[in-house]
Structure 1
């Protein structure tokens, strides 16, 4: 071979890395919702009672198995190992029960079966077992789907403008502060939102999901669902103006598919098929991957995927996404972008 062994080999072409911080397009996409739907196979919209229930059974078998091992065998472990085993069990069991939560969430979207009464019955039982008020959250979550990305009308995870930051924001803008904020959000964030509307849109009174007469209750909001709701502009922008015509679910394209690794399956793919879920929320989770693959080519740059490991993405967002502001000179467009300079 001689010097031939030193000959350079042409490098294999690599796919260009997707920049998760690249700004998304804010113009109206050159396609309609019906065109997107036509790209998805019709069977993806079909719901099977037996198949849907099989996932419920699977999740509860797994949760019961974890519970049996923890309560039956952890006491036999040496004391130091128990301090590791119990938190590990809490995390694993929490992930499995999040899968149960996702199925109940699908019931609220009428994605469990063809029968609304069955969906509501199953959803009520599953969510109640997790201390989630099924009906009030079902309706507030529906409003979230109708107003995704709106600073004025979205229901949850509504970012603040710089003028709305609390006095302590600058004191938490450091590694220990971010770690504390993330810990609180991942442990107490969900119950605090349900009970006290923490990180939710402002109301003129306490929006408690456990209060049947509160602004999150079905009776309070039934009139809001009988009238059409316009769509908002895409993320990571946030909008106070309706940038796209009424009838186009533009806010759905503000969502992002993320890779949670093995947890994608544990969470029934709600994490890596979130875009198609916001476009067509009645598609059951077991068809969502196929539907996602179908819409990617036609959405093109309007499809958002962030492959950053989730723990890195959480830290990045805690560091970079502190508040929203419009670009200089673009204040009339109603498009806001995340900033981090306090």
Structure 2
């Protein structure tokens, strides 16, 4: 791949099943962040309150329209059609609310407007409504952007070295085991990360996004963690009252299942952005910010690229310029690709195929045998039962 495609005779290559995957260069890039930024049209860094709110209004209008149709008309459908209508509602609303989640994520990056208070207000409301502790995630995600690709300091989907694998890993390295792993990851991965820091970086004591005094946060951030918890508790209480009024099944059908879709997409998108046989990871002897920021990959989700506000196919640009609003990211991506050259990674593999391949191929990271630079690690999958 590299520079946006597959290559038949790459200079540095590895087998990924039957495919030959071109690795991203792991050397220090021959360009600087300043040179990349100069290639981007200046207007791409402009944030418009009106335009940003137009996406919020658009997404929420669709979401409430779907809710209205479901709650006012689905019960009028004959039973076979109602059984079909609800899954369609769950899938479409889950995708639309993932777009809402992305806008809240932009607020956390100060990419929504020029006003930090406005970004935090909008992000807090939108994320809390999806049971996300806004400030808690904002701060841990900011550290992810500051340490992407670092085996010691990155915050999420930090790959393990072979010596750090759990004892049961080799028993899951088969089709049924991969199905089980994916099912658990897509359904429970997000709440487990928030509550128990599963897949996150190791800390010297228990880490939890709901704990204001946990090791993830600094002293000056703790008050906002309390506020994040209060937001999630307020929405949870609202859902409790709705369950008392309308029944638990109603809340699950109208809100719960779409939220599971949102959480599943969130985990899948993040996983595929940072997990690929072509992507290097670094220890402290080789890592720097630019190399880490480039150790990401853009993906193609088809029509969902637009629904998800292009967080899927402009992720490289997002890691380079996280305060850039999403509606300029496609233009910026086209502008920086000639500068990045082989350092730009795009994979157009269909998402379900990519999900299965990465689960199969990317089990742990290890330096190449005989490699000159031992601080560069690549995904591998050879496990034995010895």
Which band: TM-score by shorter chain? 0.7 to 0.9
Aligned length: 315
Deviation at 1:84, TM superposition (A): 3.5
Residue 214 of structure 1: SS of its match in structure 2? coil
2:253 paired with 1:212: no
2:159 paired with 1:146: no
The 1:339–1:60 alpha-carbon spacing in structure 2 relative to 1, beyond 3 Å, is same
Kept in 2, the 8 Å contact 1:323–1:339? The answer is yes
The 1:162–1:84 alpha-carbon spacing in structure 2 relative to 1, beyond 3 Å, is farther
Give the structure-1-normalised TM-score: 0.87
CA distance in 2, matches of 1:147, 1:20: 29
Q: Comparing both structures, which one devotes a greater share of its residues to helix? A: 2
Structure 2 match to 1:82: 82
Structure 2 match to 1:302: 343
Kept in 2, the 8 Å contact 1:213–1:220? The answer is no
Residue 205 of structure 2: SS of its match in structure 1? coil
Give ranges in structure 1 of 5+ residues lacking alignment.
Answer: 1-14, 223-233
> Which of 317, 321, 326 is matched with 1:285 structurally?
326
CA distance in 1, matches of 2:62, 2:181: 31
Deviation at 1:221, TM superposition (A): 6.8
Kept in 1, the 8 Å contact 2:149–2:287? The answer is no
The 1:132–1:105 alpha-carbon spacing in structure 2 relative to 1, beyond 3 Å, is same
Structure 1 match to 2:110: 110
CA distance in 1, matches of 2:294, 2:28: 10
Structure 1 match to 2:284: 241
> Hey, which bits of structure 1, 4+ residues long, moved more than 4 A?
none
Deviation at 1:183, TM superposition (A): 1.8
CA distance in 2, matches of 1:219, 1:16: 46
Structure 2 match to 1:166: 166
1:55-79 C-alpha deviation (Å, 9 max, x unpaired)? 0111111111111222222223343
Equivalent runs, 1:179-328 vs 2, <5 Å: 179-219=179-219, 236-243=279-286, 249-328=290-369
2:178 paired with 1:135: no
Residue 365 of structure 2: SS of its match in structure 1? strand
Structure 2 match to 1:10: none
Residue 43 of structure 1: SS of its match in structure 2? helix
Give ranges in structure 2 of 5+ residues lacking alignment.
Answer: 8-18, 223-275
Structure with the bigger RCO (C-alpha within 8 Å, sep 6+) is 2
Kept in 1, the 8 Å contact 2:317–2:329? The answer is yes
Deviation at 1:212, TM superposition (A): 1.4
1:213-268 C-alpha deviation (Å, 9 max, x unpaired)? 1123353779xxxxxxxxxxx961111124256xx522110011100111101110
Deviation at 1:176, TM superposition (A): 1.7
Structure 1 match to 2:48: 48
Deviation at 1:107, TM superposition (A): 0.7
The 1:64–1:333 alpha-carbon spacing in structure 2 relative to 1, beyond 3 Å, is same
Kept in 2, the 8 Å contact 1:256–1:305? The answer is yes
Kept in 1, the 8 Å contact 2:150–2:287? The answer is no
Give the structure-2-normalised TM-score: 0.77
Kept in 1, the 8 Å contact 2:140–2:155? The answer is yes
Kept in 1, the 8 Å contact 2:5–2:346? The answer is no
Kept in 2, the 8 Å contact 1:143–1:155? The answer is yes
